[in-house]
Structure 1
């Protein structure tokens, strides 16, 4: 584990085991090349985040890739999240371009350059799959959050990721039916993605609470950047958490509270609803 200017660089224990196994099987150089490709991929995410003023907490190398943990403060929006997510595959495209130029110029070892091109292509395409926590899944989640309430976005993207992961596991086990060996690589990747999406689904409420905390700290000039306030019409008896689950990531909301007769009781800014929820007090329209 290395701490470089506040960013922790680490290897997952399973990754260390895979590296040791590659030494014993004579595939260490190939794995080291893939390690470098994945690390540059993750540096792309980290570089894009740092360029936009976000803190990169850690970069961890996993057996099937890597993960850059970026601090999610109230400045993170869908557009920035998409840029950060795509910055990783962009590094793979750049490396493929450099390798192709070297091949055209006759520089370097041909088979090694072909291996670099193939490795970058596989890693880029794999990461662009629309499954969390891969880059494609993050892009898909950010796009959906533009049109769907944020809580529903978290819920359904994690469920979709879990379903896709289970399908991948099933596909990896299909050869058993014809007395063939399992597709071990696909099975292991599917298990890893299934576990990641299961953990993501378990932590939805925590992520949503963090989203609300960031929303409660939005300043007036940031509200103006969200455009015209989007109204939410709610009955006075509607629970606060049900109202907040209608909040969209890129919108600022005003809650129009109606009584049973359909008359308007109050117009409440979203921050008042959030602060009332965290204070566990009566709804703000009774204040």
Structure 2
């Protein structure tokens, strides 16, 4: 692990395994090129995130990209998340175009030029698949948070990523089941299994991720009020549980909780901070919201 500019950079064990394999098979130069491509790809994410003032703790490099651990998960605007996610594949665009140009000008051999631009195309396009933690998965999550509640976006992101990564595993073994017997696509199988396990773990951690979102909600609410934004009301009955109301929160909105009596009169209007702080203070999510002010 190397720490640079306050960010810990490390190699995922999967990348280390591929490095060892490349040394044994004599493809070390190709591996170094792949490493450089992945590093620049991830550097694009880091520069964009730093530009928005994000705090990045660690970047773990994988053969097809990287995973960045940010400090304030869920509190950043969805627009920023989308831009940061796109910043990686955009690096592959200019690197691929540069490699192709080098070949056309005769500065690189045709074979090497083709290898580099194809590697960039493969990494860039693969990362745009709508599977977490790939860039396409993050774009999907950013879009979901603009359309659905934050809790729904976590759940649907995990479900879709599980289905697609499972499909990747199936596709990798289908050739071995056919009459021609072409064999298992080992690279696709390894990546598919990695994504499947990662998203299984992610799905199990959804409650923790939602809790982190709520914990950082106070900072996001302060920023919203400082800018002066329209509040999005959430209208509920006094018998609604705190947990049910929290799951109605949207990422890019500031909420006022309007609590209604059965006959239709307004019992109370709570700012979202009061609801979140009431939950975080004792963790009693199943109690009725009316208990917060009674």
Q: TM-score, normalised by structure 1?
A: 0.93
Pick one of 194, 201, 204 that aligns with 1:202. Answer: 204
Q: Does 1:265 align with 2:272?
A: no
**Counterparts of 2:169 and 2:136, CA distance in 1:** 19
Q: Which blocks of at least 5 consecutive residues in structure 2 are unaligned?
A: none
> CA 1:67 to 1:207, structure 2 compared with 1: closer, same or farther past 3 Å?
same
Note the 1:138-217 alignment, pairs <5 A. Answer: 138-178=138-178, 179-217=181-219
In structure 2, the partner of 1:242 is 244
Number of positions where the alignment pairs a residue of Structure 1 with one of Structure 2: 287
- Asked if the contact 1:149/1:248 (under 8 Å) is kept, the reply is yes
**Counterparts of 1:271 and 1:20, CA distance in 2:** 51
Deviations, residues 70-93 of structure 1 (Å, cap 9, x unaligned): 322675110111111000001000
**Counterparts of 2:98 and 2:207, CA distance in 1:** 44
- Asked if the contact 1:265/1:285 (under 8 Å) is kept, the reply is no
In structure 1, the partner of 2:81 is 81
Shift of 1:271: 0.8
Root-mean-square deviation (Å): 1.9
Shift of 1:51: 1.8
Q: Which blocks of at least 5 consecutive residues in structure 1 are unaligned?
A: none
SS at match of 2:235: strand
- Asked if the contact 1:49/1:70 (under 8 Å) is kept, the reply is no
**Counterparts of 1:210 and 1:102, CA distance in 2:** 47
In structure 1, the partner of 2:126 is 126
In structure 2, the partner of 1:13 is 13
**Counterparts of 2:223 and 2:133, CA distance in 1:** 32
Q: TM-score, normalised by structure 2?
A: 0.91
Deviations, residues 120-141 of structure 1 (Å, cap 9, x unaligned): 0000000001111100110111
